[in-house]
Amino acid sequence: MRGGTQISREGAREAGKRLGRVLDALCAMVAPGLSTAALEAQARVLIAKEGAEPAFLGYRPHGAPRPYPAALNVSINEIAAHGIPTEPERVIREGDLVKIDLGLRYRGVVVDAARSVLAGKG
């Protein structure tokens, strides 16, 4: 973060720690039989417990037909990125490659990260 103040650097670090804890918990949940909608619901709970807000939910870039309807992106296998976890809701199967992309806002700082997890024993 070039040129930022000490307060903004500390804020970014704290927001990143909170994001990391939420991603850790979501990745640990990934297992065959879990639905992408369940991941979405848990993401909202975990983000709130961290005192943060989902950054993606309601985001509407210029030209988008509607605001983004979810707190996270969940993509499985051939879907490269930015899958909406409830449209359609999918059930994770053994060996699926699950990509979780999450952004949150904490005290005015927005952070974003993604992880990939193999479901089950692979």
pLDDT tens digit string along 39-81?
999 999 999 999 999 999 999 999 999 999 999 999 999 988 8
Residue 1 within any structural domain of the chain:
no
**Residue 63 falls inside a structural domain:** yes
The CATH number of the domain holding residue 100 is 3.90.230.10
Query: What is the pTM for the complete model shown?
Result: 0.90
| Structural domain range at position 55 | 6-118
Tokens of 18: 């909170």
User: What residues have CB less than 8 Å from 35, skipping those under 6 apart?
Assistant: 89, 90, 91, 92
Chain-wide mean pLDDT for the chain?
93
| Number of domains within the chain | 1
